[in-house]
Amino acid sequence: MRDPLLIREAATGDAGGGLDLRPLPEDIVEFLCRVDAPPRLVAHRRVVRDAAVQLVESFRDAFPTFRFDAAAVVYGAATHDIGKALHPTELQAPGNDHEVDGYRLLIDYGIPARLARFARSHGAWSTPDATVEDEIVALADNVWKGRREEDLEHKLALRISAAEGEEPWRVFTRLDDLLTAISSGADRRLDYQSRFAAR
């Protein structure tokens, strides 16, 4: 068992380096302690959730008629890779075993399927049945580290365009501006995450 203090430090401690990260909610911290999550996974939960909160707030301001379940997005961002607690090698190497196992882990813990699904859907944003919430969680999982996924951004811009009644190129321009702003902190977030042990 890992020292719960290390998990709590990654989840709620001072990020330092001029980085102002929101702490993870206590229920998620307790769950991460219970599954003995590696501290780096906890730090990853925190930076992706923080990026998701920034996206939610930015979307509310920039696209006021665009509707989505903000609480589900933020929860999904905080738990989407939880299966990596069972597959820690996937913290440093490619792999998808964490997706299905993460979903099962959340369900077994009593998390409703509508929220647990992000553990298996965050990598499947391009499928026809992906929801806007799936796409925003996937976007947060990319933008936190400064990665831009053009197809995902285009797909989301079309959804927003339909909701806002605006030309897609205008929406894409505003979306690009907000993602550029969020991406600007990527180096500090990557440094923060790398301070914590992967095992």
Q: What is the pLDDT of residues 30-66, one digit of tens each?
A: 999 999 999 999 999 999 999 999 999 999 999 999 9
Mean pLDDT of the 9-17 span = 89
59 lies in a domain? yes
Q: Both tokens of residue 162?
A: 């339909």
Residue 36's CB: how many other CB atoms inside 10 A? 13
Q: What is the pTM of this model?
A: 0.93
Using CA atoms, how far apart are residues 72 and 78, in angstroms rounded to an integer? 10
The total number of structural domains that make up the chain: 1
Query: What mean pLDDT value characterizes the chain?
Result: 91
pLDDT tens sequence across 70-124:
999 999 999 988 888 877 877 777 777 787 888 999 999 999 999 999 988 777 7
Domain that holds residue 90: 4-194
User: For the domain that residue 24 is a member of, what is the CATH number?
Assistant: 1.10.3210
What length is written for the chain? 199
Token pair 């806002």 in the structure block, residue: 164
Does the pLDDT of residue 173 top 90, yes or no? Answer: yes
32 lies in a domain? yes
Helix axes 186-194, 39-62, angle to 10 degrees: 160
199 lies in a domain? no
Q: Both tokens of residue 194?
A: 């790398």
118 lies in a domain? yes
